């Protein structure tokens, strides 16, 4: 487990045993990992005989900023760690020599980064991982918490072989405006790298999409598609280059389309929520394999409303009752075990460099499934991909993932070689104001005002269902400050409206407008 904001360490670096603090009720076993501001040690809880990972601030690094990072991570994990796909925290304490310590669930299977570097996962395993991590992000987002550093090294494998999301050290509130510190460039969203956003639900969704891409490809998306000279060059590629697409044969066209939407350069073109992203992954699972991993969320159906058969080895989660002490794991037995991560129990594994095996049998597609997936992908992309050029209305000339796959070369040209600095529009984009809603016969009519008009401005609006949930699948883009819904259901109809600039930057908070009969 790496501490966010740490400086790069040599591979396999571990802290010294002598630097580990004596902690009450805990017996030191061995060091695990070393970062720039924190070390991780394996301890055992006396009386319980339970192994725990203890994250300890390094001596000499205990400044106010480091203390705040530890305090924030402790409070965040305390809110979230009841979710079965989020690492548990057991205790936060201060050592006798004044260092902050977090006592965390020990994940002996290591991280998904090690799996990625060893060749990655197969498609079925990536889909399973994606649904689980999407449900973890949804839990955080529903509680107003952004992760801001989603990446394969923060997907840890528990002693039951289950993936959990870890390292909320640079997390923040959804409504906070602070910039992310210690972010990981290969996985960061373009707007974060451009300092247009300190992080958002959309940037977390981007990073999850990029991580799933990396688990399939064996490296981060822009390192897969381009030859980056260094991290600064890599950041410029993420800002300005075309979104990478997996080559034919590495993933189903359906999954390629889903990842392409999650990693869209413009955040308003991505999935509206982690739930919507998870649902899209479930639908691909159902189409390709006839089952889906359940989405775990409070008050959320574990499967899409369509008839989806649960995975044979995750039935306990279908009711939303699975916990980290259950006997169900990410391994399973039988034919479906090919898509489950199975840690090597005999190897000495830790948080930093696991010997957990990659998913075997990857990249094998049955011909019939491939043909079916290709046909479905074309239809799916037309629905999912917004991809609007400036000056166009929604639905005009969308760019499909399938067409990009056919033209993508093994190594894409470097757009940074001949172009100047990216022209970024400064300033936050305001939300629409003076929203009004009314009924005209059987039609609900909505109007609003642009508080700061700019050339090329447009709006994206979405109907809200009766439960107040945004229906992203019915999004409409328009240049006029008005919207109409024919034959609405119920006595009240509401929409959300977002202002979109010509450079595709958008309002941080949508405006909600309602019409009441």
> What pLDDT, on the 0 to 100 scale, is given for residue 271?
97
- For 251-258, what is the mean pLDDT? 94
Distance, in Å, from the CA atom of 342 to the CA atom of 323, rounded to the nearest integer, reads 19
Which residues, at least 6 apart from 429, have a Cβ–Cβ distance to it below 8 Å? Answer: 499, 500, 501, 505, 506, 507, 508
At 193, list the tokens.
């790298």
pLDDT in tens, 309-359: 454 433 333 333 344 443 333 433 233 333 334 333 232 233 333 323 333
Which conformational region is residue 179 in: left (phi greater than 0), alpha (psi within -120 to 50 degrees), or beta? beta
Residue of 389 and 24 predicted with greater confidence:
24
472, pLDDT greater than 60: no
- For 387-405, what is the mean pLDDT? 35
- For 70-82, what is the mean pLDDT? 82
> What pLDDT, on the 0 to 100 scale, is given for residue 143?
87
Would you place residue 487 in the very low, low, confident or very high pLDDT band (cuts 50, 70, 90)? confident
- For 172-178, what is the mean pLDDT? 42
Would you place residue 156 in the very low, low, confident or very high pLDDT band (cuts 50, 70, 90)? very high
Task: Find which of 19-28, 95-104, 386-395 is predicted with most confidence, using mean pLDDT.
Answer: 19-28
Would you place residue 361 in the very low, low, confident or very high pLDDT band (cuts 50, 70, 90)? very low
> What pLDDT, on the 0 to 100 scale, is given for residue 81?
80
403, pLDDT greater than 50: no
Helix (H, G, I), strand (E, B) or coil at 257: helix
CB atoms within 10 A of CB 516: 12
Task: With beta carbons less than 8 A apart as the criterion, state whether 261 and 280 touch.
Answer: yes
pTM exceeding 0.95: no
473, pLDDT greater than 60: no
Would you place residue 380 in the very low, low, confident or very high pLDDT band (cuts 50, 70, 90)? very low
> What pLDDT, on the 0 to 100 scale, is given for residue 205?
97
497, pLDDT greater than 80: yes
Residue of 36 and 373 predicted with greater confidence:
36
Which residues, at least 6 apart from 230, have a Cβ–Cβ distance to it below 8 Å? Answer: none
Residue of 379 and 52 predicted with greater confidence:
52
What domains, with CATH codes, occur in the chain? 17-105 (3.30.200.20), 112-321+334-407 (1.10.510.10), 433-516 (2.60.40.10)
Is 179 marked active-site?
no
CA of 384: how far to CAs of 129, 379, 498, in Å?
Answer: 21, 9, 18
Task: With beta carbons less than 8 A apart as the criterion, state whether 258 and 281 touch.
Answer: yes
Would you place residue 176 in the very low, low, confident or very high pLDDT band (cuts 50, 70, 90)? very low
Distance, in Å, from the CA atom of 314 to the CA atom of 395, rounded to the nearest integer, reads 38
Q: What are phi and psi of 278, to 5 degrees?
A: -60, -40
> What pLDDT, on the 0 to 100 scale, is given for residue 68?
76
> What pLDDT, on the 0 to 100 scale, is given for residue 383?
40
Residue of 38 and 134 predicted with greater confidence:
134
276, pLDDT greater than 70: yes
516, pLDDT greater than 60: yes
The residue from 64, 99, 143, 148 that is catalytic is: 148
- Nearest 10 degrees: CA dihedral of 495, 501, 505, 509? -30
Please report which helix (H) or strand (E) contains residue 447, including its range.
Answer: strand 443-449
Residue of 71 and 64 predicted with greater confidence:
71
Laid out side by side, the sheet with 511-516 consists of 476-478, 458-464, 492-500, 511-516
CA of 110: how far to CAs of 18, 67, 510, in Å?
Answer: 23, 26, 40
Average model confidence (pLDDT) across the chain? 74
Of the candidate ranges 104-108, 127-131, 485-489, the one whose mean pLDDT is the lowest: 485-489
- For 368-380, what is the mean pLDDT? 41
Would you place residue 41 in the very low, low, confident or very high pLDDT band (cuts 50, 70, 90)? very high
Distance, in Å, from the CA atom of 456 to the CA atom of 244, rounded to the nearest integer, reads 27
- For 244-254, what is the mean pLDDT? 85
Burial of 458-497, coded b for 16+ CB within 10 Å and e otherwise, reads: bbbbbbbeeeeebebeebbbeeebebebeebeeeebbbbb
Q: For residue 412, count CB atoms less than 10 angstroms from its CB and return exposed for 0-12, middle for 13-18, buried for 19 or more.
A: middle
> What pLDDT, on the 0 to 100 scale, is given for residue 447?
94
Sign of the torsion angle spanned by Cα atoms 374, 379, 384, 390? positive
Of the candidate ranges 88-97, 236-245, 337-346, the one whose mean pLDDT is the lowest: 337-346
Residue of 509 and 237 predicted with greater confidence:
237
């Amino acid at each position: 487990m790496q501490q966010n904001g740490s400086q790069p360490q040599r591979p396999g670096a571990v802290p010294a045993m002598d630097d580990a603090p004596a902690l009450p009720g805990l017996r030191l076993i061995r060091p695990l990992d070393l970062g720039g501001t924190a070390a991780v040690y394996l301890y055992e809880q006396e009386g319980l005989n339970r192994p725990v990972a203890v994250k300890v601030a390094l001596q000499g690094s205990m400044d106010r900023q480091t203390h705040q990072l530890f305090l924030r991570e402790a409070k965040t994990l305390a809110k979230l760690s009841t979710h079965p796909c989020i690492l548990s925290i057991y205790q936060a304490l201060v050592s006798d020599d004044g260092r902050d310590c977090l006592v965390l669930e020990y994940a002996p299977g290591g991280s998904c980064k090690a799996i990625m570097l060893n060749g990655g996962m197969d498609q079925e395993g990536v889909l399973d991982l994606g649904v689980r991590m999407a449900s973890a992000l949804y839990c955080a987002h529903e509680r107003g918490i952004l992760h801001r550093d989603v990446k394969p090294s923060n997907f840890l494998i528990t002693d039951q072989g289950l993936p959990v999301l870890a390292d909320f050290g640079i997390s923040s509130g959804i409504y906070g405006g602070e910039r992310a510190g210690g972010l990981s460039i290969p996985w960061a969203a373009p707007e974060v790298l451009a300092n247009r956003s300190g992080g958002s639900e959309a940037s977390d969704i981007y990073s999850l999409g990029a991580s799933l891409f990396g688990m399939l490809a064996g490296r981060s998306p822009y390192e897969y598609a381009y030859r980056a000279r260094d991290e600064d060059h890599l950041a410029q590629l993420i800002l300005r280059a075309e979104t990478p697409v997996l080559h034919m044969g590495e993933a189903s066209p359906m999954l390629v389309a889903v990842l392409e939407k999650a990693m869209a350069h413009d955040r308003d073109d991505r999935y509206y929520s982690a739930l919507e992203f998870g649902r899209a992954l479930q639908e691909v699972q159902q189409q390709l394999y006839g089952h889906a991993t359940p989405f775990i969320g409070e008050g959320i159906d574990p499967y899409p409303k369509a008839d989806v058969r649960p995975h044979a080895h995750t039935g306990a989660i279908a009711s939303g009752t699975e916990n980290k002490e259950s006997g169900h794991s990410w391994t399973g037995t039988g034919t479906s075990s090919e898509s489950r991560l199975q840690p090597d129990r005999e190897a000495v594994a830790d948080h930093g460099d696991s010997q957990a095996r990659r998913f075997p049998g990857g990249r094998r597609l049955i011909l019939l499934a491939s043909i079916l997936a290709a046909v479905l992908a074309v239809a799916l992309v037309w629905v999912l991909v917004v991809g609007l050029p400036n000056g166009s209305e929604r639905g005009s000339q969308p760019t499909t993932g399938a067409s990009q796959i056919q033209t993508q070369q093994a190594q894409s040209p470097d757009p940074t070689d001949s172009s100047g600095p990216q022209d970024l529009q400064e300033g936050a984009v305001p939300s629409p104001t003076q929203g009004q809603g009314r009924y005209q016969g059987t039609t609900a009519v909505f109007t609003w005002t642009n508080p700061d008009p700019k050339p090329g401005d447009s709006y994206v609006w979405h109907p809200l269902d009766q439960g107040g949930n945004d229906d992203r699948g019915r999004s409409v883009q328009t240049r006029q400050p008005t919207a109409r819904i024919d034959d609405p259901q119920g006595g009240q109809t509401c929409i959300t409206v977002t202002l979109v600039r010509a450079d595709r930057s958008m309002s941080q908070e949508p405006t909600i407008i309602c019409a009441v009969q």
